[in-house]
Structure 1
Protein backbone atom coordinates (compact mmCIF):
# COMPACT_ATOMS: atom_id res chain seq x y z
CA UNK A 1 0.00 0.00 0.00
CA UNK A 2 1.42 3.40 -1.02
CA UNK A 3 1.96 6.05 1.65
CA UNK A 4 -0.46 9.01 1.49
CA UNK A 5 0.78 11.81 -0.76
CA UNK A 6 0.07 15.51 -1.16
CA UNK A 7 0.41 17.64 -4.30
CA UNK A 8 3.41 19.97 -4.10
CA UNK A 9 3.27 22.95 -6.50
CA UNK A 10 6.52 24.55 -7.68
CA UNK A 11 5.38 27.22 -10.12
CA UNK A 12 2.77 28.47 -12.55
CA UNK A 13 3.78 28.50 -16.20
CA UNK A 14 2.72 28.62 -19.81
CA UNK A 15 2.87 25.11 -21.32
CA UNK A 16 5.27 24.91 -24.27
CA UNK A 17 6.62 22.14 -26.47
CA UNK A 18 10.08 22.68 -24.95
CA UNK A 19 8.63 22.21 -21.47
CA UNK A 20 6.79 19.06 -22.55
CA UNK A 21 10.08 17.67 -23.84
CA UNK A 22 12.06 18.61 -20.72
CA UNK A 23 9.57 17.59 -18.03
CA UNK A 24 10.24 13.81 -18.19
CA UNK A 25 13.92 14.49 -17.44
CA UNK A 26 13.22 16.62 -14.35
CA UNK A 27 12.49 15.51 -10.81
CA UNK A 28 11.28 17.22 -7.66
CA UNK A 29 11.68 16.54 -3.96
CA UNK A 30 12.51 12.90 -3.28
CA UNK A 31 13.18 12.40 -7.01
CA UNK A 32 9.42 12.48 -7.67
CA UNK A 33 8.52 12.94 -11.36
CA UNK A 34 7.02 16.30 -12.31
CA UNK A 35 3.69 16.80 -14.06
CA UNK A 36 1.58 19.65 -15.40
CA UNK A 37 -1.81 20.43 -13.89
CA UNK A 38 -3.74 22.47 -16.44
CA UNK A 39 -6.16 25.24 -15.52
CA UNK A 40 -9.81 24.97 -16.53
CA UNK A 41 -9.98 28.75 -16.89
CA UNK A 42 -10.65 30.48 -20.17
CA UNK A 43 -7.98 32.29 -22.15
CA UNK A 44 -4.29 31.53 -22.62
CA UNK A 45 -3.30 28.05 -21.38
CA UNK A 46 -1.87 27.97 -17.87
CA UNK A 47 -0.53 25.13 -15.73
CA UNK A 48 0.98 24.33 -12.34
CA UNK A 49 4.20 22.31 -12.28
CA UNK A 50 3.59 19.76 -9.54
CA UNK A 51 4.78 16.51 -8.00
CA UNK A 52 3.82 14.18 -5.16
CA UNK A 53 5.39 14.56 -1.72
CA UNK A 54 4.86 12.36 1.38
CA UNK A 55 1.94 13.56 3.47
CA UNK A 56 3.88 12.66 6.61
CA UNK A 57 6.61 15.20 5.76
CA UNK A 58 4.46 18.00 4.37
CA UNK A 59 1.31 18.21 6.46
CA UNK A 60 0.96 21.31 8.61
CA UNK A 61 2.35 19.76 11.79
CA UNK A 62 5.33 18.21 10.01
CA UNK A 63 6.22 21.50 8.30
CA UNK A 64 6.26 23.34 11.61
CA UNK A 65 8.70 20.76 12.96
CA UNK A 66 10.85 20.84 9.81
CA UNK A 67 11.17 24.60 10.13
CA UNK A 68 13.75 23.91 12.86
CA UNK A 69 15.68 21.43 10.68
CA UNK A 70 18.15 23.51 8.65
CA UNK A 71 19.44 20.56 6.61
CA UNK A 72 15.90 19.63 5.56
CA UNK A 73 15.07 23.25 4.77
CA UNK A 74 18.18 23.61 2.62
CA UNK A 75 17.37 20.45 0.67
CA UNK A 76 13.78 21.52 -0.02
CA UNK A 77 14.83 25.07 -0.95
CA UNK A 78 17.58 23.87 -3.30
CA UNK A 79 15.33 21.33 -4.99
CA UNK A 80 12.54 23.89 -5.35
CA UNK A 81 15.04 26.34 -6.86
CA UNK A 82 16.47 23.75 -9.27
CA UNK A 83 13.01 22.87 -10.56
CA UNK A 84 12.03 26.51 -11.06
CA UNK A 85 15.30 27.34 -12.82
CA UNK A 86 14.92 24.35 -15.15
CA UNK A 87 11.37 25.39 -16.05
CA UNK A 88 12.54 28.95 -16.71
CA UNK A 89 14.79 27.71 -19.52
CA UNK A 90 11.75 26.27 -21.32
CA UNK A 91 8.88 28.65 -20.59
CA UNK A 92 7.77 31.77 -18.71
CA UNK A 93 7.61 30.92 -15.03
CA UNK A 94 6.04 32.32 -11.89
CA UNK A 95 7.74 30.74 -8.83
CA UNK A 96 5.39 29.88 -5.98
CA UNK A 97 5.94 29.81 -2.23
CA UNK A 98 8.29 27.08 -1.10
CA UNK A 99 6.42 24.08 0.33
CA UNK A 100 2.99 25.01 -1.03
CA UNK A 101 0.99 21.78 -1.01
CA UNK A 102 -2.61 20.79 -1.73
CA UNK A 103 -4.62 17.79 -0.65
CA UNK A 104 -4.63 16.45 -4.21
CA UNK A 105 -4.42 17.46 -7.88
CA UNK A 106 -8.09 18.39 -7.99
CA UNK A 107 -7.68 20.98 -5.23
CA UNK A 108 -4.56 22.38 -6.90
CA UNK A 109 -6.40 22.73 -10.24
CA UNK A 110 -9.26 24.49 -8.49
CA UNK A 111 -6.83 27.02 -7.01
CA UNK A 112 -5.13 27.58 -10.36
CA UNK A 113 -8.44 28.07 -12.15
CA UNK A 114 -9.63 30.52 -9.49
CA UNK A 115 -6.46 32.61 -9.99
CA UNK A 116 -6.15 32.09 -13.74
CA UNK A 117 -6.53 35.75 -14.70
CA UNK A 118 -4.11 37.09 -12.06
CA UNK A 119 -1.44 34.49 -12.82
CA UNK A 120 -1.81 35.01 -16.58
CA UNK A 121 -1.47 38.77 -16.21
CA UNK A 122 1.70 38.44 -14.15
CA UNK A 123 3.24 35.91 -16.53
CA UNK A 124 2.58 38.29 -19.41
CA UNK A 125 4.46 41.01 -17.54
CA UNK A 126 7.41 38.70 -16.87
CA UNK A 127 7.69 37.27 -20.37
CA UNK A 128 11.16 37.75 -21.93
CA UNK A 129 12.48 39.20 -18.66
CA UNK A 130 15.03 37.76 -16.25
CA UNK A 131 16.03 38.62 -12.70
CA UNK A 132 19.56 39.74 -11.84
CA UNK A 133 20.92 40.73 -8.45
CA UNK A 134 23.44 43.46 -7.65
CA UNK A 135 25.31 43.45 -4.34
CA UNK A 136 27.80 45.93 -2.90
CA UNK A 137 30.31 44.71 -0.29
CA UNK A 138 32.82 46.58 1.84
CA UNK A 139 36.01 44.52 1.76
CA UNK A 140 38.11 43.83 4.88
CA UNK A 141 41.05 45.81 3.41
CA UNK A 142 39.05 49.03 3.74
CA UNK A 143 39.25 48.88 7.54
CA UNK A 144 42.72 49.85 8.82
CA UNK A 145 44.35 48.05 11.71
CA UNK A 146 45.92 49.94 14.62
CA UNK A 147 49.37 49.52 13.06
CA UNK A 148 48.26 51.71 10.14
CA UNK A 149 47.49 54.68 12.37
CA UNK A 150 50.15 54.70 15.10
CA UNK A 151 52.52 57.59 15.58
CA UNK A 152 55.81 57.65 13.68
CA UNK A 153 59.06 56.72 15.49
CA UNK A 154 60.05 60.40 15.59
CA UNK A 155 56.79 61.28 17.37
CA UNK A 156 56.45 58.85 20.27
CA UNK A 157 53.17 58.90 22.12
CA UNK A 158 51.44 57.02 24.89
CA UNK A 159 49.60 53.74 24.22
CA UNK A 160 46.30 55.44 25.05
CA UNK A 161 46.83 58.24 22.55
CA UNK A 162 48.03 55.76 19.91
CA UNK A 163 44.83 53.74 20.39
CA UNK A 164 42.62 56.82 20.07
CA UNK A 165 44.51 57.94 16.98
CA UNK A 166 44.05 54.50 15.43
CA UNK A 167 40.33 54.51 16.20
CA UNK A 168 39.96 57.99 14.68
CA UNK A 169 41.77 56.94 11.50
CA UNK A 170 39.65 53.81 11.30
CA UNK A 171 36.48 55.88 11.64
CA UNK A 172 37.54 58.29 8.88
CA UNK A 173 38.47 55.41 6.58
CA UNK A 174 35.12 53.69 7.06
CA UNK A 175 33.24 56.96 6.54
CA UNK A 176 35.08 57.43 3.25
CA UNK A 177 34.27 53.89 2.15
CA UNK A 178 30.59 54.23 3.08
CA UNK A 179 30.48 57.43 1.05
CA UNK A 180 32.06 55.55 -1.85
CA UNK A 181 29.37 52.87 -1.49
CA UNK A 182 26.71 55.60 -1.65
CA UNK A 183 28.17 56.90 -4.90
CA UNK A 184 28.32 53.34 -6.26
CA UNK A 185 24.65 52.77 -5.40
CA UNK A 186 23.75 55.99 -7.24
CA UNK A 187 25.73 54.85 -10.28
CA UNK A 188 23.92 51.50 -10.23
CA UNK A 189 20.55 53.27 -9.97
CA UNK A 190 21.41 55.34 -13.03
CA UNK A 191 22.32 52.22 -15.02
CA UNK A 192 19.17 50.44 -13.85
CA UNK A 193 17.02 53.36 -15.00
CA UNK A 194 18.12 52.65 -18.58
CA UNK A 195 17.95 48.85 -18.57
CA UNK A 196 15.47 47.53 -16.01
CA UNK A 197 11.69 47.55 -15.67
CA UNK A 198 11.36 46.82 -11.93
CA UNK A 199 13.53 46.76 -8.82
CA UNK A 200 13.14 45.12 -5.41
CA UNK A 201 15.36 46.27 -2.54
CA UNK A 202 16.24 43.33 -0.29
CA UNK A 203 17.74 43.69 3.17
CA UNK A 204 21.55 43.42 3.18
CA UNK A 205 22.83 39.93 3.94
CA UNK A 206 24.43 39.22 7.28
CA UNK A 207 26.35 36.47 9.03
CA UNK A 208 27.78 33.42 7.26
CA UNK A 209 26.42 34.53 3.88
CA UNK A 210 28.89 37.44 3.73
CA UNK A 211 31.93 35.92 5.47
CA UNK A 212 34.30 38.79 6.38
CA UNK A 213 32.74 41.31 3.99
CA UNK A 214 29.95 43.70 4.90
CA UNK A 215 27.03 43.70 2.45
CA UNK A 216 25.53 47.21 2.17
CA UNK A 217 23.33 46.83 -0.92
CA UNK A 218 21.35 43.78 -2.07
CA UNK A 219 18.95 44.69 -4.89
CA UNK A 220 17.13 42.64 -7.51
CA UNK A 221 16.32 43.90 -11.00
CA UNK A 222 13.92 42.64 -13.65
CA UNK A 223 15.67 43.09 -16.99
CA UNK A 224 14.45 42.53 -20.56
CA UNK A 225 16.43 39.65 -22.02
CA UNK A 226 17.66 41.76 -24.93
CA UNK A 227 19.29 44.23 -22.49
CA UNK A 228 20.86 41.78 -20.04
CA UNK A 229 24.37 41.79 -21.55
CA UNK A 230 24.47 45.57 -21.78
CA UNK A 231 23.29 45.88 -18.15
CA UNK A 232 25.98 43.51 -16.87
CA UNK A 233 28.69 45.25 -18.89
CA UNK A 234 27.62 48.66 -17.57
CA UNK A 235 27.72 47.42 -13.95
CA UNK A 236 31.18 45.90 -14.49
CA UNK A 237 32.40 49.19 -15.95
CA UNK A 238 30.98 51.15 -12.99
CA UNK A 239 32.59 48.74 -10.50
CA UNK A 240 36.06 49.64 -11.77
CA UNK A 241 35.51 53.19 -10.51
CA UNK A 242 35.17 51.98 -6.91
CA UNK A 243 38.31 49.97 -6.04
CA UNK A 244 37.55 49.81 -2.31
CA UNK A 245 34.27 47.97 -2.92
CA UNK A 246 33.27 44.59 -4.31
CA UNK A 247 30.30 44.94 -6.65
CA UNK A 248 28.79 41.61 -7.66
CA UNK A 249 26.13 40.76 -10.25
CA UNK A 250 24.26 37.49 -9.66
CA UNK A 251 21.94 35.64 -12.00
CA UNK A 252 20.32 35.01 -14.33
CA UNK A 253 17.49 33.87 -12.06
CA UNK A 254 13.88 33.01 -12.54
CA UNK A 255 11.88 36.07 -11.34
CA UNK A 256 11.76 35.09 -7.66
CA UNK A 257 11.70 38.67 -6.38
CA UNK A 258 8.92 39.67 -8.77
CA UNK A 259 6.57 36.69 -8.51
CA UNK A 260 4.33 37.82 -5.63
CA UNK A 261 1.37 35.52 -6.28
CA UNK A 262 -2.12 36.89 -5.73
CA UNK A 263 -3.89 36.14 -2.44
CA UNK A 264 -5.20 32.62 -2.10
CA UNK A 265 -8.98 32.35 -2.51
CA UNK A 266 -10.96 31.28 0.57
CA UNK A 267 -11.49 27.85 -0.97
CA UNK A 268 -9.57 25.84 -1.91
CA UNK A 269 -6.55 26.92 0.07
CA UNK A 270 -3.26 25.02 0.21
CA UNK A 271 -3.19 22.23 2.74
CA UNK A 272 -0.06 23.84 4.15
CA UNK A 273 2.99 25.89 3.34
CA UNK A 274 6.25 26.41 5.11
CA UNK A 275 5.80 28.91 7.97
CA UNK A 276 7.81 32.03 7.44
CA UNK A 277 8.73 31.16 3.84
CA UNK A 278 8.76 34.03 1.35
CA UNK A 279 6.23 34.27 -1.46
CA UNK A 280 8.88 33.02 -3.83
CA UNK A 281 11.94 31.05 -2.82
CA UNK A 282 15.01 33.26 -3.16
CA UNK A 283 17.94 32.15 -5.27
CA UNK A 284 21.00 30.96 -3.44
CA UNK A 285 23.59 33.64 -2.67
Structure 2
Protein backbone atom coordinates (compact mmCIF):
# COMPACT_ATOMS: atom_id res chain seq x y z
CA UNK A 1 0.00 0.00 0.00
CA UNK A 2 1.27 3.47 -0.96
CA UNK A 3 0.29 7.04 -0.12
CA UNK A 4 -0.97 9.40 -2.81
CA UNK A 5 -0.49 13.14 -2.10
CA UNK A 6 -2.95 15.61 -3.68
CA UNK A 7 -1.81 18.87 -2.22
CA UNK A 8 -0.02 20.64 0.63
CA UNK A 9 -1.84 23.10 2.86
CA UNK A 10 -1.69 24.74 6.26
CA UNK A 11 -3.58 23.79 9.39
CA UNK A 12 -7.06 22.65 8.35
CA UNK A 13 -9.91 25.06 8.95
CA UNK A 14 -12.39 22.19 8.80
CA UNK A 15 -11.82 18.45 9.30
CA UNK A 16 -11.98 16.30 6.16
CA UNK A 17 -15.12 14.16 6.19
CA UNK A 18 -16.57 11.80 3.60
CA UNK A 19 -14.13 12.79 0.85
CA UNK A 20 -13.17 9.99 -1.52
CA UNK A 21 -9.95 10.00 -3.52
CA UNK A 22 -8.43 7.72 -6.12
CA UNK A 23 -9.48 4.08 -6.01
CA UNK A 24 -12.40 5.29 -3.81
CA UNK A 25 -10.09 5.49 -0.80
CA UNK A 26 -10.84 7.89 2.06
CA UNK A 27 -8.95 11.18 1.95
CA UNK A 28 -7.19 12.31 5.13
CA UNK A 29 -4.69 14.91 6.32
CA UNK A 30 -1.17 14.05 7.44
CA UNK A 31 0.14 16.77 9.75
CA UNK A 32 3.70 18.11 10.12
CA UNK A 33 3.95 21.18 12.38
CA UNK A 34 1.58 23.75 10.77
CA UNK A 35 1.63 21.96 7.41
CA UNK A 36 -0.70 19.20 6.22
CA UNK A 37 -0.45 16.85 3.26
CA UNK A 38 -3.82 15.78 1.85
CA UNK A 39 -3.47 12.07 1.09
CA UNK A 40 -5.20 8.76 0.44
CA UNK A 41 -3.99 5.19 0.12
CA UNK A 42 -3.45 3.61 -3.30
CA UNK A 43 -2.41 0.15 -4.42
CA UNK A 44 0.11 1.16 -7.10
CA UNK A 45 3.44 2.98 -6.96
CA UNK A 46 2.52 4.83 -10.18
CA UNK A 47 -1.00 5.86 -11.10
CA UNK A 48 -1.99 5.24 -14.75
CA UNK A 49 -3.29 8.35 -16.48
CA UNK A 50 -7.00 8.23 -17.32
CA UNK A 51 -9.79 10.76 -17.48
CA UNK A 52 -11.35 9.34 -14.34
CA UNK A 53 -8.15 9.42 -12.29
CA UNK A 54 -7.12 12.92 -13.40
CA UNK A 55 -10.61 14.27 -12.67
CA UNK A 56 -10.65 12.64 -9.23
CA UNK A 57 -7.21 14.10 -8.49
CA UNK A 58 -8.46 17.57 -9.50
CA UNK A 59 -11.74 17.17 -7.57
CA UNK A 60 -9.92 16.56 -4.27
CA UNK A 61 -7.68 19.56 -4.88
CA UNK A 62 -10.66 21.80 -5.68
CA UNK A 63 -12.61 20.64 -2.64
CA UNK A 64 -9.75 21.62 -0.32
CA UNK A 65 -9.00 24.83 -2.26
CA UNK A 66 -12.51 26.12 -1.61
CA UNK A 67 -11.76 26.08 2.12
CA UNK A 68 -8.14 27.29 2.24
CA UNK A 69 -4.90 28.03 0.40
CA UNK A 70 -3.21 25.00 -1.11
CA UNK A 71 -0.13 23.99 -3.10
CA UNK A 72 -1.28 21.41 -5.67
CA UNK A 73 0.89 18.36 -6.28
CA UNK A 74 1.57 16.80 -9.65
CA UNK A 75 -0.63 13.93 -10.73
CA UNK A 76 0.76 10.61 -9.44
CA UNK A 77 2.81 12.04 -6.57
CA UNK A 78 3.08 8.79 -4.63
CA UNK A 79 5.16 7.92 -1.54
CA UNK A 80 5.94 4.62 0.14
CA UNK A 81 4.30 5.43 3.49
CA UNK A 82 3.42 8.10 6.06
CA UNK A 83 7.05 8.43 7.13
CA UNK A 84 8.16 9.25 3.58
CA UNK A 85 5.51 11.99 3.27
CA UNK A 86 6.51 13.47 6.64
CA UNK A 87 10.15 13.47 5.53
CA UNK A 88 9.10 15.27 2.34
CA UNK A 89 7.26 17.93 4.38
CA UNK A 90 10.25 18.30 6.67
CA UNK A 91 12.73 18.74 3.80
CA UNK A 92 10.53 21.25 1.96
CA UNK A 93 9.15 22.90 5.08
CA UNK A 94 10.57 26.42 4.53
CA UNK A 95 9.56 26.52 0.84
CA UNK A 96 6.04 25.27 1.56
CA UNK A 97 5.46 27.76 4.38
CA UNK A 98 6.76 30.59 2.17
CA UNK A 99 4.56 29.58 -0.79
CA UNK A 100 1.46 29.24 1.37
CA UNK A 101 2.02 32.74 2.70
CA UNK A 102 2.77 34.20 -0.76
CA UNK A 103 -0.24 32.49 -2.38
CA UNK A 104 -2.68 33.08 0.47
CA UNK A 105 -6.15 33.83 -0.92
CA UNK A 106 -4.80 33.78 -4.49
CA UNK A 107 -6.40 32.06 -7.50
CA UNK A 108 -5.18 31.18 -10.97
CA UNK A 109 -7.08 32.11 -14.11
CA UNK A 110 -6.19 30.85 -17.57
CA UNK A 111 -6.70 32.48 -20.96
CA UNK A 112 -6.24 30.91 -24.39
CA UNK A 113 -6.13 33.24 -27.40
CA UNK A 114 -6.59 31.62 -30.80
CA UNK A 115 -6.06 33.35 -34.11
CA UNK A 116 -8.87 32.66 -36.53
CA UNK A 117 -7.46 30.71 -39.45
CA UNK A 118 -6.09 32.94 -42.15
CA UNK A 119 -5.66 31.99 -45.75
CA UNK A 120 -3.32 34.03 -47.90
CA UNK A 121 -3.91 33.48 -51.61
CA UNK A 122 -5.21 29.97 -50.83
CA UNK A 123 -1.72 29.09 -49.64
CA UNK A 124 -0.87 26.64 -46.91
CA UNK A 125 2.55 25.78 -45.51
CA UNK A 126 3.79 22.34 -44.67
CA UNK A 127 5.92 21.65 -41.61
CA UNK A 128 9.01 21.83 -43.79
CA UNK A 129 8.02 25.32 -44.88
CA UNK A 130 7.27 24.33 -48.46
CA UNK A 131 4.44 26.30 -50.00
CA UNK A 132 1.52 24.37 -51.47
CA UNK A 133 -1.52 25.74 -53.25
CA UNK A 134 -4.84 23.95 -52.99
CA UNK A 135 -7.74 24.00 -55.37
CA UNK A 136 -11.41 23.87 -54.46
CA UNK A 137 -11.30 20.13 -53.95
CA UNK A 138 -8.45 20.42 -51.43
CA UNK A 139 -6.15 18.45 -53.74
CA UNK A 140 -2.66 19.84 -54.22
CA UNK A 141 -2.31 21.70 -57.52
CA UNK A 142 1.44 22.01 -57.20
CA UNK A 143 3.24 20.58 -60.22
CA UNK A 144 6.08 18.17 -59.55
CA UNK A 145 9.54 19.50 -60.35
CA UNK A 146 10.49 18.38 -63.81
CA UNK A 147 13.68 16.44 -64.35
CA UNK A 148 14.52 19.03 -67.01
CA UNK A 149 14.71 21.89 -64.46
CA UNK A 150 18.21 23.06 -63.76
CA UNK A 151 19.72 22.63 -60.26
CA UNK A 152 20.04 26.42 -59.99
CA UNK A 153 16.34 26.89 -60.74
CA UNK A 154 15.40 24.26 -58.20
CA UNK A 155 17.69 25.81 -55.59
CA UNK A 156 16.28 29.31 -56.14
CA UNK A 157 12.74 27.97 -55.84
CA UNK A 158 13.58 26.26 -52.55
CA UNK A 159 15.21 29.40 -51.12
CA UNK A 160 12.16 31.46 -52.10
CA UNK A 161 9.89 28.97 -50.34
CA UNK A 162 12.02 29.13 -47.20
CA UNK A 163 12.02 32.93 -47.28
CA UNK A 164 8.21 32.96 -47.37
CA UNK A 165 8.07 30.41 -44.55
CA UNK A 166 10.40 32.34 -42.23
CA UNK A 167 8.63 35.61 -42.99
CA UNK A 168 5.44 33.88 -41.86
CA UNK A 169 7.16 32.72 -38.65
CA UNK A 170 8.39 36.26 -37.90
CA UNK A 171 4.86 37.56 -38.43
CA UNK A 172 3.54 34.94 -35.99
CA UNK A 173 6.11 35.91 -33.33
CA UNK A 174 5.22 39.58 -33.70
CA UNK A 175 1.51 38.79 -33.42
CA UNK A 176 2.06 36.70 -30.28
CA UNK A 177 4.08 39.45 -28.60
CA UNK A 178 1.36 42.01 -29.33
CA UNK A 179 -1.36 39.73 -27.96
CA UNK A 180 0.63 39.05 -24.78
CA UNK A 181 1.21 42.78 -24.18
CA UNK A 182 -2.46 43.60 -24.83
CA UNK A 183 -3.70 40.92 -22.42
CA UNK A 184 -1.25 41.85 -19.67
CA UNK A 185 -2.27 45.51 -19.94
CA UNK A 186 -5.94 44.54 -19.67
CA UNK A 187 -5.42 42.94 -16.26
CA UNK A 188 -2.95 45.45 -14.87
CA UNK A 189 -3.77 46.40 -11.29
CA UNK A 190 -5.57 43.14 -10.42
CA UNK A 191 -2.96 40.66 -11.59
CA UNK A 192 -0.35 39.72 -8.98
CA UNK A 193 1.77 37.73 -11.43
CA UNK A 194 1.43 36.29 -14.91
CA UNK A 195 3.08 33.59 -16.99
CA UNK A 196 2.89 32.45 -20.58
CA UNK A 197 2.85 28.72 -21.28
CA UNK A 198 5.72 28.46 -23.77
CA UNK A 199 5.02 24.74 -24.27
CA UNK A 200 1.88 25.60 -26.24
CA UNK A 201 2.53 25.73 -29.99
CA UNK A 202 1.43 28.69 -32.10
CA UNK A 203 -1.23 26.57 -33.82
CA UNK A 204 -2.76 25.77 -30.40
CA UNK A 205 -3.01 29.43 -29.45
CA UNK A 206 -1.39 31.73 -26.90
CA UNK A 207 -1.84 30.32 -23.39
CA UNK A 208 -1.57 32.79 -20.50
CA UNK A 209 -1.94 32.23 -16.75
CA UNK A 210 -2.78 34.95 -14.23
CA UNK A 211 -2.42 34.92 -10.46
CA UNK A 212 -5.08 37.11 -8.88
CA UNK A 213 -6.49 37.78 -5.43
CA UNK A 214 -9.68 35.94 -4.60
CA UNK A 215 -11.56 39.25 -4.24
CA UNK A 216 -10.61 40.26 -7.81
CA UNK A 217 -12.35 37.33 -9.50
CA UNK A 218 -15.44 39.23 -10.69
CA UNK A 219 -13.33 42.16 -11.90
CA UNK A 220 -11.11 39.75 -13.83
CA UNK A 221 -14.15 38.21 -15.53
CA UNK A 222 -15.50 41.65 -16.44
CA UNK A 223 -12.19 42.73 -17.93
CA UNK A 224 -11.93 39.45 -19.83
CA UNK A 225 -15.36 40.05 -21.40
CA UNK A 226 -14.29 43.59 -22.39
CA UNK A 227 -11.10 42.19 -23.95
CA UNK A 228 -13.04 39.56 -25.88
CA UNK A 229 -15.51 42.16 -27.19
CA UNK A 230 -12.80 44.60 -28.28
CA UNK A 231 -10.85 41.98 -30.24
CA UNK A 232 -13.59 40.02 -31.94
CA UNK A 233 -11.26 38.93 -34.75
CA UNK A 234 -9.70 36.57 -32.19
CA UNK A 235 -11.18 33.70 -30.24
CA UNK A 236 -10.78 33.90 -26.45
CA UNK A 237 -11.29 31.08 -23.94
CA UNK A 238 -11.17 31.61 -20.17
CA UNK A 239 -10.78 28.90 -17.52
CA UNK A 240 -10.70 28.91 -13.73
CA UNK A 241 -10.57 29.72 -10.97
CA UNK A 242 -7.93 27.08 -10.26
CA UNK A 243 -5.41 26.33 -7.58
CA UNK A 244 -2.17 28.20 -8.45
CA UNK A 245 -0.61 25.35 -10.45
CA UNK A 246 1.76 27.59 -12.42
CA UNK A 247 2.90 29.75 -9.50
CA UNK A 248 4.22 27.34 -6.87
CA UNK A 249 7.97 27.10 -6.37
CA UNK A 250 9.69 24.22 -8.18
CA UNK A 251 10.15 21.08 -6.11
CA UNK A 252 12.64 18.26 -5.91
CA UNK A 253 12.48 14.69 -7.19
CA UNK A 254 8.71 14.64 -6.64
CA UNK A 255 7.60 18.07 -7.80
CA UNK A 256 4.51 19.92 -6.75
CA UNK A 257 2.88 22.14 -9.31
CA UNK A 258 1.39 21.58 -12.74
CA UNK A 259 -0.41 18.27 -13.32
Partner of 2:257: helix, strand, or coil? Answer: coil
Q: Which has the higher contact order (CA 8 A, sep 6+)?
A: 1
Counterpart-to-counterpart distance in 2, 1:76 and 1:145:
46
Q: Aligned in 2, Cα 1:176/1:205: closer, same or farther, shift over 3 Å? A: closer
Residue of structure 2 aligned with 1:251, choices 237, 240, 248: 240
Partner of 2:37: helix, strand, or coil? Answer: strand
Q: Aligned in 2, Cα 1:240/1:132: closer, same or farther, shift over 3 Å? A: same
Contact residue 245 and residue 257 of structure 2 kept, 8 A: yes
Unmatched 5+ stretches in structure 1: 148-158, 161-171, 207-212, 265-272
Q: Does 1:28 align with 2:21?
A: yes
Contact residue 107 and residue 244 of structure 2 kept, 8 A: yes
Contact residue 248 and residue 257 of structure 2 kept, 8 A: yes
Residue 181 of structure 1, CA deviation: 5.6
Equivalent in the alignment of 2:3: 7
Equivalent in the alignment of 2:41: 52
Q: Aligned in 2, Cα 1:145/1:85: closer, same or farther, shift over 3 Å? A: farther
Equivalent in the alignment of 1:228: 217
Contact residue 13 and residue 91 of structure 1 kept, 8 A: yes
Counterpart-to-counterpart distance in 1, 2:104 and 2:13:
16
Q: Does 1:143 align with 2:132?
A: no
- Choose between structure 1 and 2: higher helix proportion: 1
Q: Aligned in 2, Cα 1:9/1:234: closer, same or farther, shift over 3 Å? A: same
Equivalent in the alignment of 1:81: 58
TM-score of the two chains, using structure 1 as the length reference: 0.67
Q: Report the count of equivalent residues.
A: 226
Partner of 2:17: helix, strand, or coil? Answer: helix
Contact residue 68 and residue 105 of structure 2 kept, 8 A: no
Counterpart-to-counterpart distance in 2, 1:13 and 1:183:
37
Q: Aligned in 2, Cα 1:262/1:214: closer, same or farther, shift over 3 Å? A: closer
Within-5 A mapping of 1:159-170: none
Residue 73 of structure 1, CA deviation: 4.1
Residue of structure 2 aligned with 1:198, choices 189, 193, 202: 193
Q: Aligned in 2, Cα 1:50/1:236: closer, same or farther, shift over 3 Å? A: same
Residue 220 of structure 1, CA deviation: 0.8
Unmatched 5+ stretches in structure 2: 124-140, 143-166
Of stretches 72-81 and 120-129 in structure 1, the one that deviates more from structure 2 is: 72-81
Equivalent in the alignment of 2:67: 90
TM-score of the two chains, using structure 2 as the length reference: 0.73
